[in-house]
Chain A
Amino acid sequence: EDQVTQSPEALRLQEGESSSLNCSYTVSGLRGLFWYRQDPGKGPEFLFTLYSAGEEKEKERLKATLTKKESFLHITAPKPEDSATYLCAVAAGGTSYGKLTFGQGTILTVHP
């Protein structure tokens, strides 16, 4: 069974205080790992796709990295508008081609 565990559950930062969110996964044959952002009252919004260990993607203050067991979402000098829930998801190989398993999310709050 595919499993995705995100930590911490909640993270409070001061504006400008850099940190990282973790996504650990267990999957039989990773086809892709995905990061989404969800604002209150809205659907998740796509951020990044990572396909293989060692891959990195960047977007503004966010940088996602991938190893064989986990992914990190690094947030550099965050701003209050970065406050949101960040979701990690994995897609496995095999016959379950359309299945996507999400973690529980990390609630990020950035204080001015």
Chain B
Amino acid sequence: EAQVTQNPRYLITVTGKKLTVTCSQNMNHEYMSWYRQDPGLGLRQIYYSMNVEVTDKGDVPEGYKVSRKEKRNFPLILESPSPNQTSLYFCASSPSDRNYNVLTFGAGSRLTVL
């Protein structure tokens, strides 16, 4: 089944404890992206990657890091999480042709930072 898989789905952590949210897709998509979704603010783009070793900032990149060493994986790293990073996170992917904004989303990862 074609899908985007995120882990963990739920995580409660404490301020300053480094964490990584993994994202993997099995559709051979070139484009991958991370979003956070907050009540009243909608989906906001954190980082995106057009292909392996190519990443760029979205609208809210502060406090996050990403890497794209392999085509299928695009992990989101929070080096020193803070409570304002408590949110619902979505990873998404798409092909690189004209349909590259036709995103397939993962099921989401709900992160709570205490």
- Our verdict on whether A and B bind, yes or no, reads yes
C-alpha gap A42/B104 in the complex (Å): 12
Which of A62-70, A76-84, A92-100 lies on the face that meets chain B? A92-100
- Which residues from B are CB-within-8-Å of A104? 40-42
- Which residues from B are CB-within-8-Å of A99? 45, 48, 58-59
Which of B14-22, B72-80, B95-103 lies on the face that meets chain A? B95-103
**Does B66 interact with chain A (Cβ within 8 Å)?**
no
- Which residues from B are CB-within-8-Å of A102? 35, 42-45
- With contacts A98-B33, A104-B41 taken as known, whether A43 is within 8 angstroms of B106 at the C-beta atoms is yes
C-alpha gap A97/B96 in the complex (Å): 11
Choose from A31, A87, A97 the contact partner of B42 (Cβ within 8 Å).
A87
Choose from A44, A87, A100 the contact partner of B101 (Cβ within 8 Å).
A100
**Does A8 interact with chain B (Cβ within 8 Å)?**
no
**Does B27 interact with chain A (Cβ within 8 Å)?**
no
Choose from A31, A46, A105 the contact partner of B102 (Cβ within 8 Å).
A46
B48 CB, nearest partner CB in chain A, Å: 4
Choose from A43, A49, A103 the contact partner of B108 (Cβ within 8 Å).
A43
C-alpha gap A46/B58 in the complex (Å): 20
Number of A-B residue pairs at CB separation under 8 A: 60
B31 touches A98 (CB 8 A): yes
Residues of A that sit less than 8 Å from B by CB:
31-32, 34, 36, 41-46, 49, 87, 89, 91, 97-105
14 contacts between A and B (CB under 8 A): A32-B101, A42-B108, A43-B108, A44-B43, A46-B102, A46-B104, A49-B99, A87-B43, A91-B101, A98-B48, A98-B56, A100-B103, A104-B40, A104-B41
Known: A43-B106, A43-B107, A104-B40. 13 other contacts (CB 8 A): A43-B105, A43-B108, A44-B43, A49-B101, A89-B101, A91-B101, A98-B33, A98-B49, A99-B45, A99-B59, A100-B48, A100-B103, A103-B42
Closest 8 A-B residue pairs measured CB to CB?
A: A43-B105, A104-B42, A102-B43, A98-B48, A91-B101, A102-B42, A46-B102, A44-B105
